[in-house]
């Protein structure tokens, strides 16, 4: 478990009121299915259309982010989190995460390493983080993005970006067939036996009737 005091403090003092429009954070792929218990898979947390805008809503690009990804711990376990290339391609970063497979969440965040921070933040689209899960059981669970925060810096102050949309993911695996392989084999074996018994009983009945 890794977590950074600087990240916690930074996200705690964010002020609200400024926003970059049409910025989306999403789980990609949005659906994962047909993975058996014991198998692993990865999903990305992506950000799309981060812009710099000098007119309201004002934005100087992305300087930091955090999200709490929740899941059903009876179905999945989170095994690792890796930082994506989006933020760190612009400046040195601090990346932190906290996995709790009992409660079913992975709190993840990244930010530019201070000081000093660049005059403008990250722009465009890319991967913020890659999360790896191991399938524990069968069923369906959302991979929900909760408590999502994106921040920009304006005049030396942290501002939480508004009008951010998010798209959750979902994991599902198909329940096993009601007829197990052993039962199917037993039925196949039993059919000729039952047929033979029925034919024998029929012949015996006809013999008695003739007598």
CATH number at residue 15: 2.60.40.680
- 92 and 41 within one domain: yes
- Quote the pLDDT of residue 191: 66
- Quote the pLDDT of residue 197: 55
- 165 and 75 within one domain: yes
| Dist. CA 145–CA 105, nearest whole Å | 10
CB 162 within 8 A of CB 81: no
Tell me how far CA of residue 168 lies from CA of 27, 96, 171, in angstroms.
6, 21, 10
Tell me how far CA of residue 160 lies from CA of 37, 127, 169, in angstroms.
39, 20, 24
Peptide bond connecting 9 to the previous residue in cis, omega within 30 degrees of 0? no
- 165 and 181 within one domain: no
Domain of 122 in residue numbering reads as: 5-172
- 150 and 60 within one domain: yes
Closest by alpha carbon to 169, among 147, 150, 146, 151? 146
Q: Compare 19 and 172 and report the one with higher pLDDT.
A: 172
Query: Considering the entire predicted model, what is its pTM?
Result: 0.76
pLDDT band, residue 19 (cuts 50/70/90)? very low
What are the pLDDT digits (tens) for 89-146? 999 999 999 999 999 999 999 999 988 888 899 999 999 999 999 999 999 999 999 9
């Amino acid at each position: 478990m890794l977590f950074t005091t600087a990240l916690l403090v930074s996200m705690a003092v964010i002020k609200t009121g400024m926003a970059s429009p049409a910025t989306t954070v999403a789980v990609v792929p949005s659906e994962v299915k047909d993975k058996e218990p014991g198998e692993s898979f990865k999903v990305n947390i992506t950000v799309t259309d981060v812009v710099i805008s000098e007119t309201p809503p004002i934005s100087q690009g992305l300087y930091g982010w955090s999200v709490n990804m929740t899941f059903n711990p009876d179905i999945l376990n989170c095994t690792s989190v890796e930082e994506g290339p989006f933020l760190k391609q612009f400046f040195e970063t601090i990346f932190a995460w906290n996995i709790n497979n009992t409660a079913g969440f992975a709190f993840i965040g990244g930010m530019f390493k201070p000081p000093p921070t660049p005059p403008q933040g990250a722009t465009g689209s890319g991967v913020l983080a890659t999360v790896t899960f191991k399938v524990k059981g069968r069923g369906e669970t959302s991979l929900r993005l909760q408590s999502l925060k994106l921040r920009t810096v304006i005049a030396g102050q942290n501002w939480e970006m508004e009008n951010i949309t998010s798209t959750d993911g979902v994991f599902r695996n198909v329940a096993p067939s009601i007829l197990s392989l052993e039962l199917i084999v037993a039925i196949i074996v039993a059919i000729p036996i039952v047929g033979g018994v029925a034919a024998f009983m029929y012949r015996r009945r006809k013999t008695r009737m003739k007598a």
